[in-house]
Each structure stands twice: as C-alpha cells, then as structure tokens.
Amino acid sequence: MGTILIVDDNKSVLGSLELFLKHKLSRVITCSNPNQIPSLVKSEQIDLVLLDMNFTAGINSGNEGLFWMREILKSDPQIVVILITAYGDVELAVNAMKEGATDFVLKPWDNQKLLATIQSGLALRKTRRELKVAKGQQQQLQEDASHNLGEFLGKSPAMESVFNTIKKVAATEASILILGENGTGKELVAHKIHRLSTRANKIFLGVDLGSLSQTLFESELFGHAKGAFTDAKESRTGRFQTASGGTLFLDEIGNLSAAMQAKLLAAIQNHEVTPLGESRPVPVDVRLVCATNKNLRELIQQGEFREDLLYRINTIEITLPPLRERGKDILLIANHYLLSYSAKYGKPDLTLGAKAAEQLLQHAWPGNVRELKHAMERAVILCDRSVLEPEDFFLQEHGEMVEFGNTPMSLEEAEKLLIAASIKRHRGNISNVAKELNIGRQTLYRKIERYGL
C-alpha cells in the first residue's frame, strides 16, 4: 500500500512500470518531465519516488537525478527516493546513498526484485511517519512532566459528586464536556479523567482554543505540509495526530467561530484530519475532553454555537462548582498552597491565622482556585511575621478592590509583580519562569505582552 511517483523521460518505461505496479499499490503516478516533481510532491502526498537519473539526451552522469533527489528531500525529508538508471556504477550509488537515497535499481530490472525494493521503501516511509508522531508525543510528555498542575483537592459534597462522576466515566470512551467558571480547575478534571482511563499510558495533550486565531486553528489542530502557506517552512504534525491513541483536551471550546466549529465537527465525526497543503486525510483516534466557562445552550439559541457539535462533545457533562460554594474546601486549598509556597520561599514556620482564615471563607473568590493560589503566594512573599493575618491579603470582589492593608493591589497587579520578580530571578529564561509559575510558555508570553514586561 502507498502512493508512488515514477519519474522517467522514457514514456515506454513509465507505461511498463505503471502496468506492473498499479494493482499492487494504492496509487501510481507517472511523470516524464522532472520540472513537475515539486508540484506533484506537494499536491499528491507521495510516499515514494522512483526516480530516473538522466533526463537530457546525451548526458549520463546521473547529476540530474541527484539534483532532483535533493529537491524532493528538501520538500519532505521523510519521502523515500529510489534511484533507477541504466548507467549504474558503484561510485554513483554510494554518492546517492550518502545524500539520502534509500536504494538504487539498475535497468533492466527484475520485476519481483523491484517490487520487493518498493515494498521495503514503503515500509520505511511508514516507520518514518510513526517515528515523527512518536517524537512529537515524547516531546509533549516531557513538557507535561515538567508542568505540574498541582493537586485536585476537595471534601465538600459538591466536589465529592464531581469525583464520583469522574470515576464512573473515566474508563469509558465517552466524550466529556467540563463546565465551570474560570479558575475552577477544569484542566485538572481532564487530567484526572485521563489518568483513570484505559489510555493512561498514552499521551494527554491540551489545546487552549481561546488563544488560536482563525488562521492558526487548522495548522495547530490538523497540521500542515511544508510550503502550505507563507510561513510554513517546515511540515508540522497537528494536535489531533500527535494525541492519537491518547486524550485530547480542548479548552475554551465556546470561543470558536462558526467556521472553526464546522472544521472541528468534521474531524470528530470522520475520525480523520487533513493537514493544510495535503490531499490525503490522516486517521486519528483520540478520547475527546472539552471545557468551557460559557453556557453553550444559550449560545445555540443565539445562533453562535452548533447544536450538532454540542451533541458530539457532551456525552457526559461535568459541572465544577465555584469556590464560593465549596465551604471549608477554601481552607483546605489555602493550607495546601501555604505549605507549598512557604517551603518555596524559605518560610517553613508560616501559619494561617484564625482571622485571616475567616476572611478567606467570607470572600466570594470571583477568580476561584486560581485567585486563591495567587493570593496565597503573594501573602507568603510579603509577610514578615510567622502568622498570616487579614492585612497580608489584597482580595478582589467582582473587579472592585478590597483593601486589607495599607497598599491595595488588584489581582492583575499582583500577577504582574510575581511574573516580573520571576523573570528577574531567572535572568529572562522564559522556560524556567514558566516552570516556576506553573503556566505554559504561550500563556506566559501573552501575559508578558499584556503587562508590558
């Protein structure tokens, strides 16, 4: 199986090879003009090229074949090139192999030997594709390992219900839709589902759809071929293909435009994607988990979200309660972050005072767990005593400042302070800053630009 391109200036050779191979391979494309090679490689998704080495009458050096081989491999280094010539010699064969040829066939050829060589080449092409995907998955797994999302904590009845639902659905292949306000821990739920699923030993890959523009959407999710658009200097494997066999987490799915929704629906329905600049679809097998802070049913009524897409992504819905409805979970989480940050900043004896604890319980937490995390880190950094008191916290109520100390500060100002301090501490090493702050590099770059750092 596979698509091969045969390039030879002798049309009788092309006819003979096509007749022999057309019933043994998926597709056989023939070409007598080597100048057509670049466009054919780009448009036809070629797996293997059977390439003549001489095209100009009276010239038998093989340099023409070497030139076109280099051009093919520039376009797609994974393509298998088998050179074929009537003027074979050892030196030319060695040079060709050194420069990337997979094999070398002499005219006249033995049909069965030629077929075996082509089949071997197609097997190599398949292996190269699989290695490319595996490399992408390994890189993502390494990034996940260094990106600690933290513990998923809670003992309130509302959270016990969430935990029970996760246990029930994780082992299935059902698509999950996670609903909840910003900062409630939707990504933590997605990770928990993956770890408890039958795909736990495979990749978990998250995509923030809210950060993708219309132009980047297809390239990011479905991939692209080299040269598919102006800046496509290298081919790219899309997130669907990279996550194949594992779990794909699509965050902020309520932010997609109508055009993006249609393309995503087609990929989910067909279990395949077609990279930009390629014509052949690639089969994918992902467990889909989506999340949003928006009311998708209201968006459907307003004509802003596709009802058929909702049915595809929400076999099971899990709604995360806001932190203000979780009672003493607030103190459980606060003490968890207190232990973490007091150790990180060299203040191991720091405790949470009773009055401060009461203030935390009374606060509405519009930013949910994410806001609590930032509040605890800032309090630990700035506190000079052994006990955290109300004045160590600067909290926000629905965008309004709540002043517990002499220097009021918004959540955004506190975040800017933390990022700036981390950048200074790591001397501008963005990877280390992202790791310390427990956020992705893309998110960090957006915040740096937003705060003018």
pLDDT of residue 240: 94
Mean pLDDT of 414-433: 81
Q: Is the pLDDT of residue 401 over 60?
A: no
pLDDT of residue 273: 93
Q: Is the pLDDT of residue 437 over 70?
A: yes
Reported as a single tens digit per residue, the pLDDT across 247-300 is 999 999 999 999 999 999 999 999 999 988 887 888 999 999 999 999 999 999
Please compute, for residue 68, the number of CA atoms within 13 A of its CA located in the half-sphere on the CB side: 27
Are 273 and 222 a contacting pair, CB within 8 Å? yes
Mean pLDDT of 433-443: 81
Mean pLDDT of 334-339: 94
pLDDT of residue 146: 43
pLDDT of residue 311: 95
CA distances to 337, 342, 392 from 384, in Å: 18, 12, 9
Reported as a single tens digit per residue, the pLDDT across 24-43 is 888 899 999 989 998 888 78
| Sole residue written with tokens 């929400």 | 314
User: Looking at 5-9, 397-401, 444-448, which range is the least confident one?
Assistant: 397-401
pLDDT of residue 398: 44
Reported as a single tens digit per residue, the pLDDT across 229-242 is 877 777 788 899 99
CA distances to 21, 47, 103, 109 from 116, in Å: 11, 15, 11, 12
Distance CA 21, CA 18 (A): 5
Mean pLDDT of 148-169: 86
User: Looking at 29-33, 305-309, 321-325, 419-423, which range is the least confident one?
Assistant: 419-423
Burial of 432 (0-12, 13-18, 19+ CB in 10 A): middle
**Which residues are within 8 A (CB) of 413 and not within 5 positions of it... i.e. 6 or more apart?**
none
**Which residues are within 8 A (CB) of 300 and not within 5 positions of it... i.e. 6 or more apart?**
306, 307, 310
pLDDT of residue 191: 92
pLDDT of residue 400: 43
- Model confidence, pTM: 0.65
Helix axes 368-382, 329-344, angle to 10 degrees: 40
Please compute, for residue 5, the number of CA atoms within 13 A of its CA located in the half-sphere on the CB side: 26
The strand pair at 3-7 and 27-31 is best described as parallel
Q: Is the pLDDT of residue 403 over 50?
A: no
Distance CA 125, CA 90 (A): 25
Please report the domains of the chain, with CATH numbers, ordered by start residue: 3-127 (3.40.50.2300), 147-321 (3.40.50.300), 326-451 (1.10.8.60)
Residue type, 45: Q
Reported as a single tens digit per residue, the pLDDT across 350-399 is 999 999 999 999 999 988 998 999 999 999 998 889 999 998 887 654 44
pLDDT of residue 138: 67
pLDDT of residue 90: 62
Confidence category of residue 405, pLDDT binned at 50, 70, 90: very low
pLDDT of residue 404: 44
pLDDT of residue 283: 92
Q: Which of 305, 382, 302 is nearest to 342 (CA)?
A: 382
List b or e across 269-300, with b for residues whose CB sees 16 or more CB atoms inside 10 angstroms: eeebbbbbbbeebbebebbbbbbbbeebeebe
Reported as a single tens digit per residue, the pLDDT across 98-157 is 888 888 887 888 899 999 999 999 999 988 887 877 776 666 555 554 444 456 789 999
pLDDT of residue 448: 85
Reported as a single tens digit per residue, the pLDDT across 58-110 is 566 677 888 899 999 988 888 999 988 766 666 777 778 888 888 888 788 88
Mean pLDDT of the chain: 86
Q: Is the pLDDT of residue 402 over 60?
A: no
Reported as a single tens digit per residue, the pLDDT across 44-57 is 888 999 998 877 65
